[in-house]
Amino acid sequence: MSLRSTLALAAFALPLVAAAPLACSSSEDAPATDGDAGADAKRKPAPAPEPEEYDATPVDDGWGRVDAGPTSPLTTIDLGVVSTGTEKTFDLPKGALGFNVVAIGRGRDLGIKDIKSPSGELVHKDFTPFNGSHPTTNSLFGGVASAGVPASNHPKAMPDLEPGKWSVTFTGDNAKAKVRVQTTPDGQFHGGVLDVRLFIPDGVKVGGTVVTAATARTEYNVRSRVDAFFDAFERLFGIGRGNVEIFALPTVYKQAGDAVIEAFTQTAPAGDAQALNIILTQPTRDQSWWGIAGGIPGAATVSGTAQSAVALATMSYAGARAEGMVLAHEAGHFLGLNHTTEFGSEAFDPLEDTPQCERMDELNFRSCPDYKNLMHAASSGALEASPLQVRVVRGSPVYHAFLSGAPKQITAPAPAFDAGKELGGIFGHPGVAPDAVESAVLATLCGAPGHGPVTLARVPRAELEALARRPGVESIVRNAATKALTRLR
């Protein structure tokens, strides 16, 4: 799920295409305990558990970074205190690939309303990127708002950002704002690496195995998911594996559920860093999300806010590649990508080179022209990204950009993974791909408030009831089927 009509992924697979489901979401679609997935959370976040004191020293330095030469230092510009109507300006240097604005304060009215280029053109208006379908940069839970450029193919932002004095207009009172800029000497992408900070609640189950921060580095079920994530990210965006640091989180977050936003704030003791924060957790009994991102985009390089991380609720019988793809989808949200198409609405991403799927619903999504795109709301599990999606990700300051050299060539799209192997166990039939009804239920794991839930109105009620009662089905799936039945009453 993601923030404020920022939409999350629900990817699933149908046997017809040997595709695989990935389900995710973002903080605006944060899970609820009843009714539509995420709808209640949008209005009233569930009370979080009391935070525990913990040592933020990395337990292990994890995996070694790919050594490919020096990287560009992060440029940070302090805009000072901002309030409603405040217009702040900053000088964007030549060579900028992109920038991310983060405002931190109090109150739900906090937001980044407009972003204007040096020539006076709005590339972001009324909390919405140019050509966007819905707002993404107002604060859902209060306390933080973020925006990124490029987020669309506005001519002042793509293919190159216009250098000079940019301006940003905010809402809210007495917030503090900063801009982080991704640069290279010549303004060209030469490759890069993404550092990951992995947060492990003590005793969390990953792939059915209990792990701690101390055991995570050598645990196959952790490494295989992180490896699958890095493989997808490098194939799609040409950004390689960076350092992986492992941090401990209190046991209370091993089933974060509705407290996942609170879990995001628990990254604070680790400090800010040019890296992606990932929290591994496991589903609660009534949870309705598989993966979740703090925002579209998230608060780049900033720890300790509601938009500072992504999370994966790892399922015991889901394959490592499927869950790695969920992480890749959520990272796409965090670095600025929307869903290409949303269920039950005419909402699409702001990019002109991603195909749109008109009137997509829970049973016809497999015929969509963007179905194989990583950021489709019901992805096939294949790896595809458009050139403009690649450009958005490469503009984020979350990764380390190389100063020079030829960028790594993007690998040809990988085939969809084996849906039976990766997803069959979720439904109690290992090795057998999900059928149409099971795949449709997976779509509900990322209900998108503001754009209408996936109601499953076209799915036979008897089949939903059978799935909700079937033994051996993962609790998150059974709960999704039960909630779908509730919506049909």
Residue 228: phi, psi to the nearest 5? -65, -40
* Amino acid symbol at 429: H
- CA–chain centroid gap for 460, Å, is 31
The pLDDT of residue 57:
57
Give the HSE-up count for residue 377: Cα atoms under 13 Å, Cβ half-sphere.
39
Instruction: Convert 204-258 into a string of H (helix), E (strand) and C (coil).
Output: EEECCEEECCCCHHHCHHHHHHHHHHHHHHHHHHCEEEEEEEEEEECHHHCCCHH
Q: Where are the domains of the chain?
A: 75-181
Q: Which residues of the chain have pLDDT under 50?
A: 1-23, 26-53, 447-452
Q: Cα separation of 480 and 471, whole Å?
A: 15
Output b/e per residue, 212-241; b: 16+ Cβ within 10 A: bbeebbebebbbbbbbbbbbbbbbbbbbbb
Residue found under tokens 């860093």: 273
Type and span of the H or E element at 465:
helix 461-469
CA dihedral 328, 330, 333, 338 (to 10 degrees): 90
- 180 forms beta bridges with 76, 100
State which fold the 75-181 domain adopts.
Jelly Rolls (2.60.120)
Distances (CA, A) of 50 to 71, 214, 259, 266, 443: 39, 23, 10, 11, 32
Type and span of the H or E element at 265:
helix 260-265
Q: Cα separation of 25 and 261, whole Å?
A: 12
Put residue 119 in one of left, alpha, beta given phi > 0 → left and psi -120 to 50 → alpha.
Answer: alpha
Q: Cα separation of 41 and 35, whole Å?
A: 10
Q: Cα separation of 293 and 261, whole Å?
A: 10
Any residues with CB less than 8 A from the CB of 37 and at least 6 apart, and which?
A: 25, 29, 31, 288, 289, 444, 445, 446, 447, 453, 480, 483
Q: Cα separation of 120 and 342, whole Å?
A: 31
Dihedral sign (CA 414, 416, 418, 424): positive
Give the HSE-up count for residue 136: Cα atoms under 13 Å, Cβ half-sphere.
40
- 198 forms beta bridges with 246, 278
Type and span of the H or E element at 462:
helix 461-469
Q: Quick: pLDDT tens for 334-346.
A: 999 998 988 766 7
Residue 149 contacts residue 123 (beta carbons within 8 Å): yes
Give the HSE-up count for residue 395: Cα atoms under 13 Å, Cβ half-sphere.
27
Whole-structure pTM value: 0.87
Q: Cα separation of 484 and 489, whole Å?
A: 9
Which burial class, exposed, middle or buried, applies to 98 when counting CB atoms under 10 A from its CB (0-12, 13-18, 19+)? buried
